[in-house]
Structure 1
Amino acid sequence: MKTKIAITSLASLSPLGKEAELIWKQYLSTETLIGVQSFNGKQQFAATLPQELRHAIDALRKEDIKYKALDETVLMAILASRQAVAQAGWTTGDAFGINIGSSRGATQLFEKYHKEFVETGKTATLTSPTTTLGNIASWIAHDLKSSGPEISHSITCSTALHAVLNAVAWLQSGMATKFLVGGSEAPLTPFTLAQMQALKIYAQPDGQAESTVADKSNTIANCQSEPVEDLSLKYPCRAFDFTKTKNTMVLGEAAAVACLEVGDNPKALGYITGMGYATDDLQHNISISEEALCFQKSMAMALENTPLEEVDAIVMHAPGTLKGDTSEYKAIQKIFGDSLPMLTTNKWKIGHTFGASGMLNLELALLMLQYQTFIGIPYVAEPNPRPQLRNILINAVGFGGNAVSVLVAKR
């Protein structure tokens, strides 16, 4: 990193709520926010937005006639972006860049329009312009009247951290001084859930989720977990639980964005002091390598100028799948050896929010730095407690092993 990058605000809409104090209070609780919902008459685990945030989305639809036709991925991102920009003290019309993406894009509208097409052979006039991925950054730019570059992308589950990576490149090049970054995802639709079940990675309310083959050697030797049968009822997504025998991924919905600026800043919630990225050689359409070489490379790059013993915690990607959790942990072992930081994930609480998940990981890291309190996994005993939190590493990876690691510090 040539210069530090200040995170001057971070805003989110998620099952945790949207206000920082409430979000922190939710993290202090050991209760999961995952529940059972009905999709097309079928009961599924999911983590949904609180009702008050649903009302806010509905109100935005009524605020401007043009917004009525937009997908929830766009509407959630607009609301989060308004909040982040206000917190950072940016004003309407400022020259700041926008890079906000999504893994799946406009899933709700796309499924609605496709269903209508199958039934009638016709589709609505606005089908194409309202289901393109570029909608997110473009509509946020319209809403905030920004005059910088507008970028939307999908790099599956590492989308939000790739937005951070891209913004850092713009900022350090001198081509921009401010960037709004993040991800938005509204994946709780019948077809998206069916896709996850087809991969045999989704947790089932009846406990019948199928497993995939995984080498579970070299896992956490000193962590003690509750019995699996108890966890499956109390915590449907058992992310980073190596006693589980089945995949337990659960989806959640969220939008999360941050404001980034160059150099020291009195408003900074924290600073990005290291960035890393890498991609595995593809062995399978969805997999990463057995020891997550992509994570090994991305973490090593992010930690290039930081002694390993100064990394106090890692917010892992850890989606609750057998191979995903195990391979990431093996990668962490390869990098840190016997000096492991404290390890955590938020998937057990809010599910996997796909393209928004990396930014929610960053949010958790910033809150832990602010309150100097480590939020662990309630069913896993932390074997490596640290007396303070100075530097926290955040991981995210998407289908095909496209990993990003971001190092943040309070200073």
Structure 2
Amino acid sequence: MSNLVSITALASISPLGISLEESWENYLKDEHHLIEKKIGEYMAWVAPLPDHAKEEIEEFKTFDSKYKGLDNSVLYAMFASRKAMQMAKWKSGDNFGVNVGSSRGATTLFEKYHKEFLSTNKTSTLASPTTTLGNISSWIAHDLQTKGPEISHSITCSTALHAVLNGMAWIKSGMADKFMVGGSEAPLTPFTIAQMKALKIYSREESDYPCRALDLKKKSNTMVLGEGASMICMERGRKDNALAVIEGVGYATEVLQHNISISTEAECFQRSMHMALGTTNPDEVDVIVMHAPGTIKGDLSEKNAIAKIFRNKKPLLTTNKWKIGHTFGASGMLSMELAILMFQKQKYIGVPYLHQEPALQKINKVMVNAVGFGGNAVSVLLSR
């Protein structure tokens, strides 16, 4: 891919904390951030924000009286976006685009207003605007005072990496020089947990690691939900302040055999990874941050796809879902955060309950994968 795009800022709020430094400190530890908590009528493993992050969100609401009525999925995105803009040294009023997505959107408010409607046959005035998917990017644009385009979308669990695709398209077309992209999710709600349990993919593990992502010997599905948001700032060309460079992007959709299906060898991942590589020799890729949601079929099929593409020299494989859960639409960007931190620190972060490969001398190229219900895969190739 010609005309490289630089990532000049990265910010997040997640179970790991509210800063890159805090996230890295937690990545260096083998402990996970999952807790067992009662959500509605269910006891479930979840990965919530830490208390100090929740306090930051409560403080954030005081900036504008209108923020108090927004869903957490919007507030998390706004919080991370403001920090990303500050890191990139972009200014209010600049002409940059915003594309932030969410798999489920304003889940907490939607459940609240729906319950209200069922009991009273009425609903609050702000029920519609605060639960529409488009209000994520529009509120970010309001808060940052950008003059560029604002886009919200939902493409299930690959939403954040689809935002990267969109940002690349706008920049490479010449329609924009800068784009802020990312994903946000606040899915720790009764209805969402009930849905995942109904699919029989949710963890019932009582072991030290309730989510056994990338453990191909597990006997049951072990997906756990987490919450958070992560944003990057993208700029045309190779910038001096670049945290990483996007060398290639790939995408694919495969024919569905079932609503949540993915083929045995994840054909969608094979095509997305092949496209992202372009002319790059697969042997040059040092690490792949996998989607690996902790399900038996999902983890294995992605591993099979990697084996098909990387035949000669297998990259080291990792994931963060054992530590922070699956954050749906935000998960791809939080995986990119892990990749960029490994670049910066030149240290591979593995999965503690798996056999650790020999340490790498250098980490120069990392691929990040994401896929969602509907077989829509995205792969992003990053370099230093």
Give the TM-score range, shorter chain.
over 0.9
Q: Work out whether residues 342 and 385 of structure 1, in 8 Å CA contact, stay in contact via their aligned partners in 2.
A: no
Residue 359 of structure 1: aligned partner = 333
Contact persistence 1:340–1:384 (CA under 8 A): no
- The amino acid of 2:128's aligned partner reads S
Match of 2:310 in 1: 336
Deviation at 1:234, TM superposition (A): 0.7
Among 252, 259, 262, the residue aligned to 2:233: 259
Alignment match, 1:247:
221
* 8 Å contact kept, 2:157–2:330: yes
> In the alignment, residue 304 of structure 1 is paired with which amino acid?
G
User: In the alignment, what sits opposite 2:152?
Assistant: 152
Are positions 1:25 and 2:25 aligned together? yes
Q: Deviation at 1:28?
A: 0.4
Query: Structure 1 CA distance, aligned partners of 2:328 and 2:59?
Result: 25
Structure 1 residue 351: Cα displacement: 0.2
Secondary structure of residue in 1 paired with 2:225: coil
Structure 1 moving runs of 4+ over 3 Å? 382-386
SS at match of 1:118: helix
Q: Is the 8 A contact 2:283 2:312 kept in 1?
A: no
Q: CA deviation at 1:41?
A: 4.4
Matches of 1:360 and 1:111 in 2, distance apart? 26
Task: Look up the match of 1:327.
Answer: 301
* Cα pair distance change 1:391/1:126, threshold 3 Å: same
The C-alpha deviation readout for 1:356-380, integer Å capped at 9, x for no partner, is 0000000000000111100000011
Q: Distance in 2 between matches of 1:159 and 1:186?
A: 14
For residue 381 of structure 1, the aligned residue among 345, 348, 355 is: 355
**Which 5+ residue runs of structure 1 have no aligned equivalent?**
208-231
**Equivalent pair of 1:277/1:403 in contact (CA under 8 Å):** yes
- State the superposition RMSD in angstroms: 1.0
- Residue by residue over 1:50-95, the C-alpha shift from the partner in whole angstroms, topping out at 9 and shown as x without a partner, is 1111111112222211111110100110000000000000001100
Match of 2:173 in 1: 173
Rounded to whole Å, the distance in 2 between the matches of 1:236 and 1:327 is 21
In the aligned structure 2, how far is the partner of 1:332 from the partner of 1:387?
Answer: 22
Residue 58 (1) aligns with residue 58 (2): yes
Matched to 1:63, the amino acid is F
**Distance in 2 between residues matched to 1:117 and 1:378, nearest whole Å:** 46
Asked if 1:391 is matched to 2:365, the reply is yes
The aligned counterpart of 1:215 is none
Match of 2:212 in 1: 238
| In structure 2, distance between residues paired with 1:324 and 1:384 | 26
- Amino acid in the other structure paired with 2:184: S
Q: What is the DSSP-based 3-state SS (H/G/I as helix, E as strand, rest coil) of the residue aligned with 2:128?
A: helix
SS of equivalent residue, structure 1 residue 161 = helix
Question: Structure 2, unaligned stretches of length 5 or more?
Answer: none
Q: Give the 3-state SS of the residue equivalent to 1:233 in structure 2.
A: coil
Partner-residue secondary structure (3-state), 2:226: coil
Show the counterpart of 1:296: 270
Shift of 1:34: 0.7
Q: After superposition, what is the alpha-carbon deviation per residue over 1:300-353, rounded to whole angstroms, capped at 9, x for unaligned?
A: 000112111110000000000001000000000000124110000000000000
Indicate if the aligned counterparts of 1:342 and 1:382 stay in contact, CA closer than 8 A: no
Q: Cα distance, 1:384 vs. partner?
A: 6.5
SS class of match (2:369): strand
Letter in 1 for 2:13: L
- The answer for the alignment partner of 1:163 in structure 2 is 163
Q: Counterpart of 2:313 in 1: which secondary structure?
A: coil
| d(CA) in 2 for partners of 1:388, 1:267 | 20
Distance 1:273 1:22 in 2: 27
Instruction: State the shift of 1:138 in Å.
Output: 0.3
CA–CA distance in 1 between the matches of 2:244 and 2:275? 20
Give the share of equivalent positions with the same residue, in percent: 60
Matched, 1:404 2:378: yes
Aligned residues: 384
Cα distance in 1 for partners of 2:191, 2:19 equals 31
TM-score after normalising by structure 2: 0.98
Output the CA distance in 1 between the equivalents of 2:82 and 2:368.
25
TM-score normalized with structure 1 length? 0.92
Q: Which amino acid aligns with 2:275?
A: M
Structure-1 residue corresponding to 2:319: 345
Residues in 1 aligned to 2:296 and 2:68: alpha-carbon distance in whole angstroms: 41
Alignment partners' CA distance in 2, 1:383 and 1:253: 30
